[in-house]
Amino acid sequence: MRYLHIANARVINPQTQTDEVTDVFVADGRIATLGRRPDAGEIEHTIDATGQWLIPGLIDLGGHLPEPGYSQKGSIASETEAAARGGFTHICSLPDTKPVADTSAVVKLILEKASKAGFSRVLPLGAMTQDLAGEQLASMYTLSEAGAVAMSNARRPVRNSYVLRRLMEYAATYDIPLFLNANDLSLSDGGCMHEGPVATRMGLPGIPETAETIALAQILLLVEQTGVRAHISQITCRRSVSMLQQALENGLRVTADTPLANLLYTHEAVTGYDSLYNVQPPLRSERDREALVQAVARGELAISSNHSPHEIAAKKAPFSDAEPGMSQYDAFLPQAMTLVSREELTVEQLVRALSATPANVLGLSQSLTEGADFNAVLYDPRDEYTLTASEIASGGHNHPLLNRTVSGKVAQVFLEGCRIS
């Protein structure tokens, strides 16, 4: 047997609470041994990882892939390459493509193109309703059989509580997970940023916290009634964190994530009308941001990307008219490490929120243990570079670190033992 030998890496594995400098030996896509040379076989290749960190591959619970339908924003190949460069081995793609991922043909097309690209593995989310219109149920069982790992309506509204209940009952029958966004459109429609003093000062229409919390209360009550496996995508408010805690204490089958941008920035970033920070859900207050960070530290929230690549023209419009979203995949891990450098999270807490916690949501295993698939990232915290346009793989250059100095760099990424970046 022939082995890949990774020498002198700092191995950080939240699943086993491991943080030590050791050697890793990989064969046939799996971790053969940790800390000791295998009894038989030969070393095919050695990577000297002195000073580098070896962590489980990142898993994204929600990113927008522009293919099919939005070629001006990128492709499955460009976005999965960007994701791999950012440290992701797996990404969940939202169903708001064109055509919508509400048929098995679209799901299979996404899987085929992602496999052909050969970068991060795409885990498609199928549409809960036909054309994401929020009225007629999509054939969720058929989508699941085609390869969709869960169902979502992205941030599109479901018509009413009756339809939402029917969706949950259907999904619960076949134990299909639902990725649900808490957004009351009657309160958020027309808004472009967090409702508060900054929005008032800038004369921009705001989105109140209650647009999220009222919708979340409805979702949690229906989850309790139907018993569906529910994941709440992209929560942003302190009150939502409290509601989630109460739901977990009551034994509900519910998990949640928050976008990285909402952990790093607040609505104050919008000052100056910079459309880069026009995102949905919106950036909230500092108090909300702190509550989200604390929930991540406790292991209650995963961190998602909410990756939304856009062409230049989409972000050149006035703030309220610009397309919402931020390109996040390139340099994602170094950007997330900002939370560690700020001493708001430990490395272990951050890595858990980006790997083990989302893996649990999807029923996957993402751990650096003997016998496990070698899905891993080699990260060099010492590297420093400027993220120029030529360094970005994504079709969207609406990146918060564009032309800025980045501390830390993803050196290599492995998916089932094969290098993808």
Q: Which regions in the chain score pLDDT beneath 50?
A: none
State phi, psi for 195 to the nearest 5 degrees: -75, 120
Q: What is the pLDDT of residue 128?
A: 98
Q: What is the pLDDT of residue 417?
A: 97
Q: What is the pLDDT of residue 55?
A: 98
DSSP H or E stretch at residue 257: strand 254-259
Q: Could you tell me the domains of the chain?
A: 2-54+370-419 (2.30.40.10), 58-362 (3.20.20.140)
Q: What is the pLDDT of residue 208?
A: 98
Please answer whether residues 211 and 282 qualify as being in contact, where contact means their C-beta atoms are separated by less than 8 angstroms.
no
Q: What is the pLDDT of residue 282?
A: 98
Q: What is the pLDDT of residue 137?
A: 97
Determine how many CB atoms are found less than 10 A away from the CB of residue 191.
Answer: 18
Query: Residue 180 in 3-state DSSP?
Result: strand
**∠ CA(403), CA(405), CA(408), 5° rounding?**
130
User: The pTM is what?
Assistant: 0.97
CA dihedral of residues 383, 60, 119, 275 (deg, nearest 10):
-70
